[in-house]
Chains A and B, each alone.
Chain A
């Protein structure tokens, strides 16, 4: 029986201290995520999207508050929360096949079982012809497919994605967005997806969490009810885009003012 995940972010704050100065990256974040929901975290650069995702992933602990996944407090990273990074983070010394198999080998699954799963994933993500290649010989889109396959192999109920398609050209990006939606619908994963593209968030998400810039708070929680596949040229899509655009613009301009006052490295 697979346990249905439920993510609860309770009063989470995160303060970074660097050389005397303090940055309130997250401030009193409260968020409940239902199993199978597709959540987008949206906001300008530096508003704390990655920080929030990392507390769910277990890479960094909140300064106060807790993150619970199905009732259990998150303390360390684990294969129940698969992570897809913007920089792909594939192991360059492993072939495509080996990268996908790595998580399964860690779990000491049988050889035949691993081979079967890897084959299925290669086929699902159209990577069959690249199975023996090293990541350096793949395009950005291909690398991100491998990264997704690597996480899918573990069958984690939760997928955390930090601007996974940020570095891709728009065509490849749309392609992978569609593929991700297909996977999400087929496997009913819970997905937290960080982006600063308004259009991407509307195209993908059930709920869009717009964040404020310093301190990082939840500005608005927007539900998107349009059925998939969504048409970016439709009136509904564009109305929402305008609405979100205003919200993000406000934060962006605060971001710009802060930048002028004290330049920070994001």
Chain B
């Protein structure tokens, strides 16, 4: 019991070793005035800036707002919310389009042959390359940003869904047929669940792409969000704020990935290779 606890503490310390050493080195470099603080501010300054960016700008005043609303009135919270809103809407729309198409294309060869050439042409175009066109079509603001995210999420989900359906092991189909399954039952209770590992992988890649795209889109098409904020900070040479913003982007990305992982483990309890505690 005690030993276990000790090992755990040691494990955590072990993992923190490299970051701590790097931070110390960084702090030392800054304090020695070897590098210009405008180029690389000290980690303590970045942390202070991050805190400032996180916390509400005004002092709490019960007359103007509730406590919770005040707590969440910081600039970072607003930016993170704006970015997450775009990712969510774009991802959901992309998934709603990609899933049914992928399922039909995977299951039906004629539909596959109908759509596949077009998809093969569009798929290699990086979503970023759609920026000029999206601004031309949708102007500035949320619509072009969300359009880009839809494209970013669409293709990974589509390709993986198709692969998932096409790779369903024939033995399950044969077993279900001999048990008397109808087409509908076959699709809903055999093909769909058998394809879920692929579909979830596609969604995970899709969210990842959506998150990359949102940051880029915000640097170009809108005037809030985490991507916009770090570009804005550059214009004022606020290197501490740039790094604080990047740190926030990293944390959010980690949170999204952890969430997807949890979902994955929950939905794939049955899957070989996933250990449940």
The residue of chain B having its C-beta at the shortest distance from the C-beta of A154 within the complex is: B179
Overall SS of chain A's interface: loop
The residue of chain A having its C-beta at the shortest distance from the C-beta of B174 within the complex is: A59
Q: Are A91 and B193 in contact (CB under 8 A)?
A: yes
Known A-B contacts A57-B178, A106-B180, A136-B272; A89 and B172 likewise in contact (beta carbons under 8 Å)? yes
Contact string against B for A residues 135-162, beta-carbon threshold 8 Å, 1 for contact and 0 otherwise = 1100000000000001000100000000
A245 at the interface (CB under 8 A from B): no
Q: Are B175 and A83 in contact (CB under 8 A)?
A: yes
Interface set, chain B 243-277, CB cutoff 8 A to A: 269-272
Q: Are A85 and B179 in contact (CB under 8 A)?
A: no
CA distance A89 to B177 in the complex (A): 12
CA distance A200 to B171 in the complex (A): 25
Most chain B beta-carbon neighbours within 10 Å: one of A77, A85, A107: A77
Most chain A beta-carbon neighbours within 10 Å: one of B178, B180, B193, B196: B178
Q: Which of B178, B194, B271 makes the CB contact (< 8 A) with A81?
A: B178
CA distance A212 to B219 in the complex (A): 74
Known A-B contacts A93-B193, A102-B189; A79 and B171 likewise in contact (beta carbons under 8 Å)? no
Q: How many residues of B contact A (CB 8 A)?
A: 21
Q: How many A-B residue pairs have CB under 8 A?
A: 62
Q: Are B270 and A136 in contact (CB under 8 A)?
A: yes
Q: Are B185 and A93 in contact (CB under 8 A)?
A: no
Which B residues are in CB contact (< 8 Å) with A83?
A: 174-175, 178
Known A-B contacts A83-B174, A91-B172, A91-B175; A134 and B181 likewise in contact (beta carbons under 8 Å)? no
Q: Are B178 and A79 in contact (CB under 8 A)?
A: yes
Q: Which of A57, A79, A93, A135 makes the CB contact (< 8 A) with B194?
A: A93
CA distance A90 to B193 in the complex (A): 13
Known A-B contacts A85-B171, A91-B172; A106 and B185 likewise in contact (beta carbons under 8 Å)? yes
Q: Are A77 and B272 in contact (CB under 8 A)?
A: no
Known A-B contacts A134-B270, A136-B272; A102 and B196 likewise in contact (beta carbons under 8 Å)? no
Contact string against A for B residues 165-178, beta-carbon threshold 8 Å, 1 for contact and 0 otherwise = 00000011011111
Which B residues are in CB contact (< 8 Å) with A57?
A: 178
CA distance A94 to B271 in the complex (A): 10
A106-B185, A136-B272 given; 4 more Cβ-contact pairs under 8 Å? A59-B174, A83-B174, A83-B175, A91-B193
Residue positions of B touching A, CB distance < 8 A: 171-172, 174-182, 185, 189-190, 193-194, 196, 269-272
